[in-house]
Every structure is written in structure tokens, then in C-alpha cells.
Amino acid sequence: MRHKVAGRRLSRTKEHRLAMRRNLVSSLIEHETISTTIEKAKEVKPFAEKLITLAKKGTLQARRRAISLLGNRAIIGIEDGREVKKGTVIGKLFSEIGPRYLDRPGGYSRIIRLSMKRLGDNGQLVLLQLVGADEKVVKTTKKKSKKHSESKAQSEPEKTSSTEEISEEEEVAEMEESTEIVDDVETEETDESEDQNEKNQ
């Protein structure tokens, strides 16, 4: 019985487990989200978060420690049908991911369970992904929308009052025009009646 023995064996030897863990964390840093089984995700998550904590320090010693733990795999992209080197995993970890979490005390990754299961052994699939980049955007947009709605609410009464004033002014102008038209019609009728009286005489 394995009392007080930490970690999962995952049906692998020690060397195989270490290689798998490095490979999964390198893929997580490169793509920022990976799909794997729940057992592997739970085993890999603490190791990934320790590396991000090292990256937050940003010192040369921390960089060397991260290289010794993870290795320094190249990030390869395909452009115009050719493979192009776009940097390294450690470079992205220390230049992009570490500074992103400077204000966050922990919890840099999350596990999201999927409804799908693996075809071969019916294993439970999950998403292991880094958090923080999308949440900041959502928070700022919510604040902006609240401020925008408050400013709209304050400007709407002003708009209604101005429209009421404009509508009252229009009504007054229309009444004056109608009275002028009536006066013109009455003067024309009186002129016509006087002309007819003169002709008759």
C-alpha cells in the first residue's frame, strides 16, 4: 500500500513521467490551453504554477532554474509552407506569461471538464488553460459599460427637457403661423367683398 507517497504513477516509469510532465507544460506555455485527461492535468498543474512563479521573479537565476526543470524547447510556426522559429518556451514564459501575473498571488491555471471522453479507454477529458488574459478584458468592459450607462442616464433627462422646450417652441411658432394665415385669408376676403361692392355700384 502506498501510504504517504505523493504523486501519481500514471502507469509510467519515473523517466517517462518527467518527460510527459515537461512536454505537457511546454505545450501549455506555447498554446496557453491544452486538452488532456483529468489525472494528467491534476499532476501537471502544480508544476506549471511553480514555473510561472519563477517567471514572475524574472532574474537570471530563476531563468536558469526554469531551464533546468523544463528544458528550452523552440516554438515553431509555419509561414508560407515553411517552418519558422518564433522563439522558445522559456522566452515566452519570462517575457509574456510572467509579467501578466505580477498582481496575481496564485491560481494561474484552471481545469475545465469536458463532456467528451477519449475513444480508446473512455478517459475523462479536460481543458487545462492559463487564466487572466481574458478576465481583465471582461472586467474593464463591465466598468466602462456601467460608466457609459450612468452617463447616458444623466444625459437622457437633459435631452428630454431640451426636446420638450423645442416642441413647445414649435407649437408656439405653428400657432403664430396659423393666426397669420387666418388674418391673411380674412383680409383677402374683405378686399374681394369691397371690390365686388364697387363693381356693383
SS3 of 180-194: the string is HHHHHHHHHHHHHHH
The beta-strand segments (E) located in 38-168 are 74-79, 82-88, 109-117, 124-130
Domain boundaries, the chain: 14-131, 134-201
pTM of the model: 0.65
Amino acid at 74: A
Closest CA to 123 of 131, 113, 132, 133: 113
The SS3 of residue 124 is strand
User: What is the side-by-side order of every strand in the sheet holding 33-37?
Assistant: 33-37, 124-130, 109-117
Give the whole-number percent of the chain exceeding pLDDT 70.
Answer: 66
pLDDT at position 192 is 60
Residues 68 and 97: their CA atoms lie apart, in Å, by 18
The three cell numbers of residue 50 are 511553480
Q: What is the pLDDT of residues 16-57, one digit of tens each?
A: 999 999 999 999 999 999 999 999 999 999 999 999 999 999
Whether 64 has a pLDDT exceeding 70, the answer reads: yes
What average pLDDT does this structure show over 174-182?
Answer: 60
Eight-class DSSP state of 123: P
Name the superfamily (CATH) of residues 14-131: Ribosomal protein L17 (3.90.1030.10)
Three-state helix/strand/coil letters over 153-169: HHHHHHHHHHHHHHHHH
Residue 61: the pLDDT is 97
Sequence letter at residue 14? K
Higher pLDDT, 96 or 137: 96
Phi, psi angle pair for 77, to nearest 5°:
-120, 160
Please give the pLDDT value at position 132. 74
Q: What is the mean pLDDT of the chain?
A: 81
| Predicted confidence (pLDDT) per residue in 86-118, tens digit | 999 999 999 999 999 999 999 999 999 999 999
| CA distances for 170 relative to 70, 163, 179, angstroms | 77, 10, 14
Residue 148 has a pLDDT of 57
Alpha carbon distances (Å) from 153 to 50, 156, 158, 160:
47, 5, 9, 11
User: Phi and psi at residue 79, in whole multiples of 5°?
Assistant: -130, 125
